[in-house]
C-alpha cells in the first residue's frame, strides 16, 4: 500500500531524479494492473497499480534487469541502464495467442533530461482533465511557467517572466518556429495534439542553443504504438464561456516494423463572456492535422516522419485595437469595453489568420554499442496574416489586404550523439538552421530577412554514488541579412554575431534530501524586429524604432535548489537569479512622434543591464491512500540596473493549491477542488496603466472512467472561475480594456477502443 | 554491413537536404511586392469667405513618409477677423502613390461609419464658433464641411484640432471607434 502511495505521487507534476517509470500493457494497449515486477539488483518485487505502472523515485544509477510476469502472459525480461529519468513501456503478449515477439516501446526518456536540473512534467491524465483552450493554458500547474494571453485563443508560453526568443518551445524534438517576436504570436499547436508537457527551467543554452535562456518547454505528442493492431480514440470537448466545441479523431496502428498515428481535430468558439459583458470579436476557429509514421530498422534504431498542419482564424478583441494614444486613454477611462455587441461565431477584423505546416524526419538509435544518436531534419513554414479593424482605403474592389503578412520558412537540422566516455556520459549536439522572412502586408513592421545559425555544444555528465555533476560548453554563429526598401530598390544589410555558452551543475542526494546548484551563461543575437522595427504598434499605441547597432544579449544565471522527499510527501524550493549585462527591450525615449494619427510615444530597442530573480516552491503530500494535496507557487521580480525601474511583463506572485480525492483502486474516478491566489504585479514605467489588483480563483473538477466491452469511456467536468469572479490579469493584454472571461464549464468525453 | 548502413545514412541525409539545397520558399531578397503605402498622408483644409466664394485658401498637413520619418509639414491657417463667416471643406489624400489617391469620396460614401470632429484651442473658443454642415445617410453629422463664425474682431493665435473617427458599430455623437486622423493646424486670426 505504501508503494501505491508513492506511485500516486507520480501522477502530478514530478521532479525526482533519477525516476524510473515502468508501464505494463497488453497488446491492445490496455494497462495490466497487478503484474509482478522483479528488480534483480534491489532483490525486491513490486506490483503494478491500477494504471499498470510501477514508479521508482531516486533509483541509484546502474544497469538493471526488470522481470515482468502476469498470469496468462509470457514473462518478459528487460535490461536497461538507468542513469537519469526514464520511462519504460513493456507490452506483454498473451500465452495462448501467437503474435510477434513482445516489444518495448522505445524507452521514452525525455530528451530534455540533459543536465542535473529536474524536468517538470504534466502527464496525459492531468492534461485530459485540465486541458484548456490553448497550449499556453497547459502550463499553469508548473511553478514559474505561465502564459501571456491576448484573448481566449491566443496564449504565448512564458517561463520565469521570459518568452519569445528567450524560450525554446519544442513540438516533440523540434523547436517550433513561429514568429516569436510578438507577444500576440502564440505557438501554432492545438492542445488536443499534446500528450504531455515537459518543462526544463533554467538556462539550457549549451544543450538547446541561443534561445534557451529561460529554459525549454516541450509539448510531447502521444507516444507511438509499436504492437500490431489498430486503436481509435474520439474526444469531444465543450466550453460554456464561449460556446466552444472541439472534436478530435485519433487513430494509431502498427504492422510489423511500421507504426503509424494520425490525428484530426477541429475547434470553434464564439465570443467569450465575462461576468458583466461579452468580449466582442473573440470568436475563433482552428483546424489541425498530424500524421506520423515510424519504422523500426533494428531493435534500437528507428526512423520517424511527421507532418503537421495548423490553420486558424483567431478574432482579436474589438475593443483592443487603437488608432492612437487618445483612443487608448479613452479606453482606459471607460472602465468597460468601448465596443460591445451580441455574442456571435462571426470573426471580423481585427483578426489573425495563421497557417503553420511542419514536416520532420528523425532517425535515432538508443542503447546500441555506439551509444545513442539522433538526426533530425525539419522544415516549417509559418504564414501569419493580421487584419486591422480598418479596411484599406481605396481597396474595395480587390478585397481586404492584410496589414501584416509575413511568411517565415525555417529549415532545421540537429544531430545528437551520446556515449560513455571519461568515466561518464558525453554528449554532442550540432544545430544548423536557416530561416527566411518575407513580408508582403500593407505595413512593413518586419523587414525581409534571411538568417543562418550554426551551433555546436558538448557536455559531460558524471554520476559518483550520490553525486551528479554536469559541465558543458557551446559555440554559436548567427548570420543575418536584412533587405529594406529604399528609393524603389532593396538594400541588403548583413550582420554577424558569435558567442559561447557555458554551464555547470552539481547535485548531491543525501537520504531524503537533495541539494543542487548550477551556474550558466548564454547569449542571443538581436532579431530583425529589434534591429529594424520602424512603425506604429497599434495594439500598444507606441512608435517602435529598432537599433541596427545593437549588440547581442548576454545572460548569467545562478540557481540553488533543495528538495526533501519522504515516503508520502515531497517538497522542493528553488531560488534563482538572472543577470543580464545586456537585456534587449523596447524602452521609452521620452519623446513623442507626430503623425497624421496624432502623437505617439517613441520606444526604441536598447540593451540595458537588468536582473530577474525569483523563488519557486512545490509540495505534494499523499494525505491518505485516496487524498492528495498539491501546492505550487512562484514569486518573481525583474528590474533595470541603471534606474531600478521594474521590467515590463514580469508575472505577479502566484500560489496555487489543489486537493484531489480519488477511489484508491481507480485513480480515474476523482473529485478535486483547487484555488489560485495571484498577487499584484510590479508596476513598470513602460506600462500604460497600473498593474491590476490580485485575485483569488476557485476551480473544481470531477471525472470517471467506464470500461465497456467496446472500449474505454472517460468523462470529466472541469469548472474554472467557479465563483464567476470579475478580475483582470496582469499577464493578459485584455486587462487594459476588459475583464477576463467568467465561469467556464468544460465537459470532456473520450472514447477509445 | 557497416558499408550498407553508411550508404543508407547518406541516402537519408541527401534526401532530406535536397529541398534545402533547391530552396522552395520565396527568397527574402526577391519579393515581388510593392513599396508599402500609407493610408492617409495628407489633410487639406479648403477655406473661403462664405459670401465671396471665389477665392479659396488651401492649408495642408502632410506626412508623406509615415510615422517616425521626417517631421510632418503643417500650414498655419490665417483668417481675417473682419470676415464674419468662413467655410471649411476637408480633403483626405494618399500622396504616397502616383497619382495621389483621393479618399474623401470614400469617406463620404461610408458616411455612416465616419465622423469628423473639430476642436478649437481654449484661446480661440471665445472668438470662433464651428458648426458642421453635412450629414450622413442617417442624418448624423459627417463633418467634411463646416462653417466657422467669427464672434470678436481681435488678433489671436491658437490651433484647430481635426479628428476623423471610424466607428465599428453604431455611430454616436461622441468621439469613438478608431482614430484615422488626428491633426492640429496652428491658427492665426488677424485683426487687420
Domain-embedded: residue B15: no
Q: Do A436 and B25 touch (CB under 8 A)?
A: yes
A406 touches A446 (CB < 8 A): yes
User: CA–CA separation, B46 vs B87, rounded Å?
Assistant: 8
Of A60, A88, A109, which closes a domain? A109
Q: Which residue has the cell 485540465?
A: A130
What is the average pLDDT across A436-454? 84
**Closest of A403, A373, A360, A14 to residue A171, by C-alpha:** A360
pLDDT digits (tens, 9 = 90+) for A140-185: 778 888 888 888 878 889 999 898 889 999 998 899 988 777 777 8
Q: Which residue has the cell 529589434?
A: A530
Q: For A435-452, give one letter per residue: b (16+ CB within 10 A) or e.
A: bbbbbbbbbbbbbbbbbb
Cell of B61: 498637413
Q: Do B16 and A450 touch (CB under 8 A)?
A: no
Nearest beta carbon to residue A534 from set B68, B103, B183? B68
Nearest beta carbon to residue B179 from set A324, A407, A411? A324
Nearest beta carbon to residue A597 from set B12, B35, B181? B181
Domain-embedded: residue A256: yes
Nearest residue on chain B to A449, alpha-carbon basis: B28
Domain-embedded: residue A165: no
- A/B interface, count of CB pairs below 8 Å: 140
Cell of A44: 525486491
Domain of B128, CATH number, reads 2.60.40
Cell of A607: 540593451
Q: Do A318 and B29 touch (CB under 8 A)?
A: no
What is the average pLDDT across A691-711? 89
**Sequence-separated (6 or more) residues with CB below 8 Å from residue A144:** A159, A160, A201, A574, A614, A616, A634, A636
Work out whether the CA dihedral A393, A397, A399, A405 comes out positive or negative: negative
What confidence category does residue A476 fall into, taking pLDDT thresholds of 50, 70 and 90? very high
Chain B closest-CA separation from residue A422 CA (Å): 26
What confidence category does residue A270 fall into, taking pLDDT thresholds of 50, 70 and 90? very high
User: CA–CA separation, A230 vs A415, rounded Å?
Assistant: 32
Q: How many folded domains does chain A comprise?
A: 2
Domain-embedded: residue B79: yes
pLDDT digits (tens, 9 = 90+) for A513-535: 889 999 999 999 998 889 988 87
Per-residue pLDDT in tens (0 to 9) along chain B, 192 residues: 444 554 565 556 556 555 555 455 677 777 655 555 557 889 999 999 887 777 889 999 998 877 767 788 999 998 887 778 889 999 999 887 778 888 898 889 889 989 999 999 998 888 889 999 999 999 999 999 999 998 888 888 999 999 998 887 778 888 877 788 889 999 998 876
Q: Do A322 and B178 touch (CB under 8 A)?
A: yes
Q: Is B172 on the interface with A (CB under 8 A)?
A: no
Nearest residue on chain B to A539, alpha-carbon basis: B178
Q: Do B166 and A393 touch (CB under 8 A)?
A: no
What is the average pLDDT across A241-255? 90
Parallel, antiparallel, or unpaired for β B77-80 and B178-190? Answer: parallel
Nearest beta carbon to residue B67 from set A390, A409, A543? A543
A254 touches A229 (CB < 8 A): yes
pLDDT digits (tens, 9 = 90+) for A331-382: 778 878 877 888 999 988 788 899 999 999 999 887 655 678 899 999 999 9
Nearest residue on chain A to B41, alpha-carbon basis: A596
User: CA–CA separation, A654 vs A61, rounded Å?
Assistant: 36
Domain-embedded: residue B55: yes
What is the average pLDDT across A55-70? 73
pLDDT digits (tens, 9 = 90+) for A542-572: 788 889 999 999 999 999 999 888 877 888 9
Domain-embedded: residue B76: yes
- Segment among A179-188, A207-216, A541-550, A677-686 with least mean pLDDT: A179-188
Q: Which B residues 60-99 touch A at CB under 8 Å? A: 61, 63, 66-68, 71-72, 94
Q: Which B residues 115-144 touch A at CB under 8 Å? A: none
Task: State the best of B7, B20, B39 to mutate against chain A, taking most chain A CBs within 10 Å.
Answer: B39
- The reported pLDDT for the residue numbered A105 is 33
pLDDT digits (tens, 9 = 90+) for A101-144: 222 333 345 566 556 677 787 877 777 777 766 777 778 778 88
DSSP notation for A32-81: -TT-EEEETTTTEEEE--TTSEEEEESPPSEEEEEEEE-TTB--EEEEEE
Chain A closest-CA separation from residue B39 CA (Å): 6
Domain-embedded: residue A115: no
Q: Do B27 and A393 touch (CB under 8 A)?
A: no
Q: How many CB atoms lie within 10 A of CB A183?
A: 20
Q: What is the mean pLDDT of chain A?
A: 82
Q: Do A448 and B28 touch (CB under 8 A)?
A: yes
Domain-embedded: residue B25: no
For residue B167, the chain A residues in CB contact (below 8 A) are none
Task: State the best of B38, B98, B176, B182 to mutate against chain A, taking most chain A CBs within 10 Å.
Answer: B182
Nearest beta carbon to residue A436 from set B28, B168, B169? B28
Task: State the best of A596, A597, A602, A605 to mutate against chain B, taking most chain B CBs within 10 Å.
Answer: A596
Domain-embedded: residue A502: yes
Q: For A242-275, give one letter per residue: b (16+ CB within 10 A) or e.
A: bbbebbbebebbbeeeebbbebbbbbbbbbbbbe
Domain of A541, CATH number, reads 2.40.170.20
Chain A closest-CA separation from residue B75 CA (Å): 14
Q: Is the pLDDT of residue A63 over 50?
A: yes
Q: How many folded domains does chain B comprise?
A: 1
Work out whether the CA dihedral A162, A164, A167, A169 comes out positive or negative: positive
Chain A closest-CA separation from residue B84 CA (Å): 30
Nearest beta carbon to residue B68 from set A322, A381, A535? A535
What is the average pLDDT across A63-88? 74
User: CA–CA separation, A528 vs A493, rounded Å?
Assistant: 11
Domain-embedded: residue A537: yes
Range of the domain at A47: 18-109
What is the average pLDDT across A311-333? 79
What is the average pLDDT across A411-422? 88
Of A109, A132, A163, which closes a domain? A109
For residue A596, the chain B residues in CB contact (below 8 A) are 38, 40-43, 61, 63, 72, 181-183
Domain of A38, CATH number, reads 2.60.40.1120
Q: Is the pLDDT of residue A421 over 70?
A: yes
- The reported pLDDT for the residue numbered A167 is 92
Domain-embedded: residue B18: no
- The reported pLDDT for the residue numbered A51 is 78
Query: Measured at the alpha carbon of residue B175, what is the angle toward residues B173 and B181, in degrees to the nearest 5?
Result: 130
**Sequence-separated (6 or more) residues with CB below 8 Å from residue B67:** A535, A536, A543, A593, A595, A597, A600
Domain-embedded: residue B30: no
> For chain B, what is the total number of helices (H) and then of strands (E)?
3, 11
User: Same domain for A103 and A237?
Assistant: no
In percent, how much of chain A has pLDDT > 90?
Answer: 36
Q: Is the pLDDT of residue A246 over 90?
A: yes
Q: Is the pLDDT of residue A721 over 80?
A: yes
- Segment among A67-76, A286-295, A459-468, B47-56 with least mean pLDDT: A67-76
pLDDT digits (tens, 9 = 90+) for A34-54: 788 877 655 566 778 777 888
Global pTM? Answer: 0.79
What is the average pLDDT across A500-510? 91
What confidence category does residue A100 fall into, taking pLDDT thresholds of 50, 70 and 90? very low
Domain-embedded: residue B99: yes
Of A109, A128, A162, which closes a domain? A109
Q: Strand, coil or helix: what is A201? A: strand
Give me the half-sphere count of Cα atoms (radius 13 Å) on the Cβ side of residue A48. 25
Q: Strand, coil or helix: what is B18? A: helix
Task: State the best of B66, B68, B93, B102 to mutate against chain A, taking most chain A CBs within 10 Å.
Answer: B68
Q: How many CB atoms lie within 10 A of CB A382?
A: 24
Domain-embedded: residue A513: yes
Range of the domain at B48: 42-190
Q: Do B39 and A375 touch (CB under 8 A)?
A: no
Q: Do A594 and B12 touch (CB under 8 A)?
A: no
Amino acid at each position: 500500500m505504501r508503494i501505491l502511495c508513492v506511485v500516486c505521487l507520480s501522477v502530478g507534476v514530478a521532479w525526482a531524479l533519477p525516476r524510473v517509470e515502468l508501464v505494463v500493457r497488453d497488446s491492445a494497449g490496455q494497462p495490466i494492473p497487478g503484474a509482478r515486477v522483479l528488480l534483480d539488483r534491489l532483490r525486491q518485487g513490486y506490483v503494478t497499480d491500477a494504471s499498470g505502472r510501477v514508479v521508482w523515485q531516486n533509483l541509484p544509477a546502474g544497469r538493471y534487469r526488470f522481470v515482468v510476469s502476469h498470469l496468462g502472459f509470457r514473462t518478459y525480461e528487460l535490461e536497461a541502464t538507468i542513469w537519469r529519468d526514464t520511462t519504460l513501456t513493456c507490452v506483454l503478449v498473451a500465452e495462448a495467442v501467437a503474435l510477434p515477439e513482445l516489444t518495448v516501446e522505445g524507452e521514452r526518456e525525455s530528451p530534455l533530461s540533459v543536465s542535473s536540473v529536474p524536468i517538470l512534467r504534466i502527464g496525459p491524465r492531468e492534461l485530459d482533465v485540465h486541458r484548456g483552450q490553448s497550449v499556453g493554458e497547459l502550463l499553469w500547474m508548473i511553478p514559474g511557467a505561465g502564459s501571456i494571453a491576448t484573448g481566449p485563443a491566443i496564449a504565448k508560453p512564458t517561463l520565469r517572466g521570459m518568452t519569445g526568443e528567450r524560450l525554446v518551445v519544442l513540438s516533440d524534438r523540434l523547436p517550433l518556429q513561429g514568429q516569436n517576436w510578438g507577444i500576440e504570436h502564440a505557438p501554432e499547436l492545438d492542445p488536443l495534439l499534446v500528450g504531455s508537457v515537459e518543462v526544463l527551467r533554467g538556462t539550457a543554452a549549451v544543450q538547446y542553443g541561443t534561445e534557451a535562456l529561460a529554459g525549454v518547454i516541450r509539448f510531447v505528442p502521444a507516444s507511438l504504438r509499436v504492437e500490431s493492431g489498430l486503436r481509435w480514440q474520439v474526444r469531444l470537448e465543450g466550453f460554456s464561456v464561449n460556446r466552444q466545441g472541439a472534436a478530435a479523431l485519433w487513430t494509431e496502428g502498427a504492422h510489423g516494423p511500421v507504426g503509424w498515428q494520425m490525428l484530426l481535430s477541429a475547434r470553434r468558439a464564439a465570443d467569450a463572456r465575462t461576468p458583466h459583458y461579452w468580449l466582442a470579436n473573440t470568436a475563433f476557429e482552428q483546424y489541425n492535422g498530424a500524421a506520423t509514421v515510424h519504422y523500426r530498422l533494428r531493435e534500437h534504431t528507428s526512423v520517424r516522419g511527421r507532418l503537421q498542419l495548423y490553420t486558424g482564424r483567431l478574432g482579436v478583441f474589438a475593443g483592443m485595437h487603437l488608432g492612437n494614444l487618445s483612443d487608448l486613454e479613452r479606453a482606459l477611462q471607460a472602465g468597460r469595453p468601448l465596443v460591445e455587441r451580441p455574442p456571435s461565431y462571426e470573426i471580423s477584423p481585427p483578426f489573425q489568420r495563421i497557417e503553420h505546416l511542419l514536416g520532420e524526419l528523425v532517425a535515432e538509435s538508443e542503447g546500441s554499442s555506439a551509444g545513442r544518436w539522433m538526426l533530425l531534419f525539419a522544415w516549417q513554414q509559418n504564414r501569419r496574416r493580421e487584419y486591422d479593424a480598418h479596411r484599406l482605403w481605396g481597396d474595395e474592389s480587390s478585397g481586404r489586404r492584410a496589414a501584416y503578412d509575413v511568411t517565415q520558412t525555417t529549415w532545421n537540422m540537429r544531430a545528437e550523439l551520446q556515449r560513455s566516455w571519461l568515466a561518464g556520459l558525453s554528449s554532442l549536439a550540432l544545430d544548423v538552421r536557416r530561416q527566411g522572412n518575407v513580408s508582403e502586408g500593407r505595413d512593413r513592421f518586419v523587414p525581409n530577412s534571411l538568417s543562418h545559425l550554426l551551433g555546436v555544444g558538448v557536455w559531460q555528465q558524471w554520476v559518483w554514488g550520490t553525486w551528479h555533476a554536469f559541465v558543458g560548453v557551446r559555440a554559436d554563429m548567427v548570420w543575418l541579412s536584412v533587405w529594406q526598401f529604399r528609393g524603389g530598390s532593396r538594400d541588403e544589410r548583413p550582420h554577424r554575431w558569435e558567442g559561447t555558452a557555458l554551464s555547470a551543475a552539481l547535485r548531491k542526494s543525501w537520504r531524503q534530501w537533495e541539494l543542487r546548484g548550477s551556474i550558466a551563461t548564454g547569449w542571443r543575437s538581436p532579431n530583425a524586429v529589434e534591429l529594424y522595427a520602424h512603425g506604429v504598434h497599434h495594439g500598444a499605441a507606441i512608435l517602435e524604432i529598432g537599433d541596427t547597432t545593437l549588440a547581442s544579449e548576454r545572460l548569467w544565471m545562478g540557481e540553488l535548489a533543495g528538495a526533501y522527499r519522504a515516503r508520502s510527501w515531497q517538497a522542493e524550493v528553488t531560488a534563482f537569479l538572472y543577470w543580464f549585462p545586456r537585456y534587449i527591450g523596447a524602452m521609452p525615449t521620452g519623446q513623442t512622434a507626430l503623425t497624421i494619427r496624432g502623437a505617439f510615444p517613441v520606444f526604441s530597442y536598447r540593451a540595458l543591464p537588468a536582473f530577474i530573480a525569483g523563488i519557486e516552491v512545490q509540495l505534494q503530500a499523499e494525505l491518505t491512500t485516496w487524498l492528495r494535496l498539491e501546492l505550487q507557487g512562484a514569486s518573481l521580480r525583474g528590474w533595470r540596473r541603471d534606474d531600478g525601474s521594474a521590467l515590463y511583463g514580469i508575472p505577479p506572485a502566484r500560489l496555487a493549491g489543489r486537493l484531489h480525492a480519488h477511489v484508491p483502486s481507480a485513480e480515474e474516478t476523482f473529485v478535486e477542488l483547487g484555488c489560485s491566489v495571484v498577487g499584484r504585479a510590479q508596476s513598470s514605467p513602460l506600462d500604460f496603466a497600473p498593474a491590476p489588483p490580485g485575485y483569488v480563483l476557485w476551480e473544481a473538477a470531477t471525472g470517471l472512467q467506464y470500461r465497456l466491452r467496446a472500449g474505454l469511456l472517460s468523462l470529466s467536468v472541469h469548472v474554472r472561475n467557479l465563483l464567476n469572479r470579475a478580475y483582470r490579469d496582469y499577464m493578459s493584454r485584455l486587462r487594459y480594456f476588459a475583464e477576463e472571461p467568467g465561469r467556464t464549464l468544460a465537459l470532456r468525453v473520450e472514447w477509445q477502443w | 554491413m557497416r558499408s550498407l548502413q553508411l550508404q543508407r545514412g547518406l541516402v537519408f541525409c541527401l534526401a532530406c537536404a535536397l529541398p534545402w539545397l533547391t530552396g522552395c520558399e520565396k527568397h527574402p531578397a526577391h519579393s515581388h511586392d510593392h513599396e508599402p503605402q500609407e493610408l492617409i498622408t495628407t489633410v487639406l483644409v479648403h477655406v473661403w469667405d462664405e459670401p465671396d466664394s471665389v477665392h479659396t485658401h488651401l492649408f495642408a498637413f502632410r506626412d508623406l513618409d509615415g510615422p517616425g520619418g521626417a517631421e510632418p509639414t503643417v500650414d498655419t491657417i490665417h483668417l481675417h477677423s473682419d470676415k464674419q463667416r468662413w467655410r471649411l471643406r476637408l480633403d483626405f489624400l494618399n500622396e504616397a502613390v502616383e497619382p495621389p489617391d483621393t479618399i474623401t469620396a470614400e469617406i463620404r460614401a461610408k458616411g455612416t461609419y465616419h465622423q469628423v470632429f473639430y476642436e478649437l484651442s481654449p484661446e480661440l473658443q471665445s472668438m470662433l464658433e464651428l458648426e458642421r454642415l453635412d450629414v450622413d445617410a442617417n442624418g448624423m453629422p459627417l463633418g467634411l464641411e463646416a462653417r466657422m463664425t467669427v464672434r470678436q474682431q481681435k488678433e489671436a493665435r491658437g490651433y484647430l484640432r481635426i479628428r476623423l473617427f471610424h466607428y465599428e458599430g453604431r455611430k454616436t455623437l461622441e468621439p469613438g471607434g478608431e482614430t484615422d486622423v488626428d491633426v492640429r493646424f496652428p491658427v492665426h486670426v488677424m485683426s487687420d
